[in-house]
Amino acid sequence: MPKINVRYTVASKEQRDQRRNYYHDVVRKQFASHLATHHAEKLRILGIPEEQITIMRDRGEGPEGYNIHHKIPLHAGGTNDFSNLILMRADLHCHLHRFVDAKILGLKVGKSRDVVLPFLEGEVCFMQPWKQPGWNPNAPLPVPPSSCWG
């Protein structure tokens, strides 16, 4: 899996809330609609029902069991641009955050730390690393690049 080096700097709670609220109120809906409009076939391959794809397109709601993830976290200078977002299974999203959060544990507002993060390419990702032999949820994610599509 590709990795990316980032300088992770914790913004103030006010800044984080502003970025996160804009994401929740605007960007997430736009991205879900974008995926349904431009990547419907990939969503079907993932097994997302046609009704949910329609809801994604028309209402901007993400499909059940999936989350939209910031590839480079907002804390680390990531943006709400579509190029920094990826749709992934909710359970994988949880594992990924457990890994990332451990790298920044204890970092205070205004402080920085250089970290290496897994970087998922594309806008739609499907993988189940926990079904692979030897899967360790605390280890870097062993994901082949072919499991993510742009």
How high is the pLDDT of residue 130?
46
Q: What is the C-alpha to C-alpha distance for residues 70 and 85, in angstroms, rounded to an integer?
A: 5
How high is the pLDDT of residue 82?
96
* Helix residue spans in the chain (DSSP H): 13-22, 28-38, 40-45, 50-59, 90-104
Q: What is the C-alpha to C-alpha distance for residues 147 and 145, in angstroms, rounded to an integer?
A: 5
Report helix, strand or coil for 13: helix
* Per-residue pLDDT tens listing for the chain (150 residues): 678 888 888 888 898 889 999 999 999 999 999 999 999 999 998 889 999 999 999 999 999 989 999 988 887 778 999 999 999 988 888 888 888 888 888 889 999 999 888 878 888 886 655 454 454 555 544 443 334 443
* Residues in Cβ contact with 133 at an 8 Å cutoff, skipping those fewer than 6 apart: none
How high is the pLDDT of residue 13?
87
The answer to whether 122 and 150 are in contact (CB under 8 A) is yes
How high is the pLDDT of residue 59?
96
